[in-house]
Amino acid sequence: REKAIMKDYANIAMQYAKDIQTKKIVACEFARQATRRFLNDIKNSKAKSSLFFFDENAVNEICSFAESLQLPDIKKSLVLQDWQIFIYANIWGWKYKDNHERRRFRTAYIEVARKNGKTSGFLFPFILYDFLTETASESYLASATIEQSEKSFQEIEEIINGNSELKEICKCYSSAITFDNSKITFF
């Protein structure tokens, strides 16, 4: 089997930020501010006094993982859009120089209109990646109704069952998914 060519997701994120700044991509003021901060942070991270560095490998790894997931509703692998890659880069790419395991951002606020890939494009890959890579990760799916929480849980279960590697290492129960000491559940 041929080895798949991995995309340079970190470069895609940087180019997206530059395209917003040069107005090649039309964007709102908040997107312009976020991309300006990102590009300034890249430049400032090169200084010895900076606490943070941009881990391109981490960005490439999380985005590659996300795009390896087959979504049950469309029966195809996820394809991240540039703006999604930019968000992944911001959340997963920034690390502390003195502790490469510690991410700079532990929380994020992402506001996107309905039906634009928040659940499939962010929530499911983030939960699964964290679930598989962090020790004793716990994710609790909560919604306005238990039915909606359970639906999201079932979609994650379908993603796992649709991937032979994940299916082999994860245990899916009626109200929890486990891997080592990690757990995903809903309420």
**Residue 57 DSSP label:** H
pLDDT of residue 1: 37
For 6-123, where are the alpha helices, taking DSSP H only? 9-21, 29-44, 56-68, 82-93, 118
Would you say 93 and 86 are in contact if contact means Cβ atoms under 8 Å apart? no
| pLDDT tens by residue, 5-43 | 579 999 999 999 999 999 999 999 999 999 999 999 999
Return d(Cα 127, Cα 154) in angstroms, integer: 13
**Which residues of the chain, if any, have pLDDT below 70?**
1-5
Return d(Cα 163, Cα 52) in angstroms, integer: 35
Return d(Cα 44, Cα 143) in angstroms, integer: 39
Return d(Cα 147, Cα 142) in angstroms, integer: 10
Which residues does 30 contact at the CB level (< 8 Å), separation at least 6? Answer: none
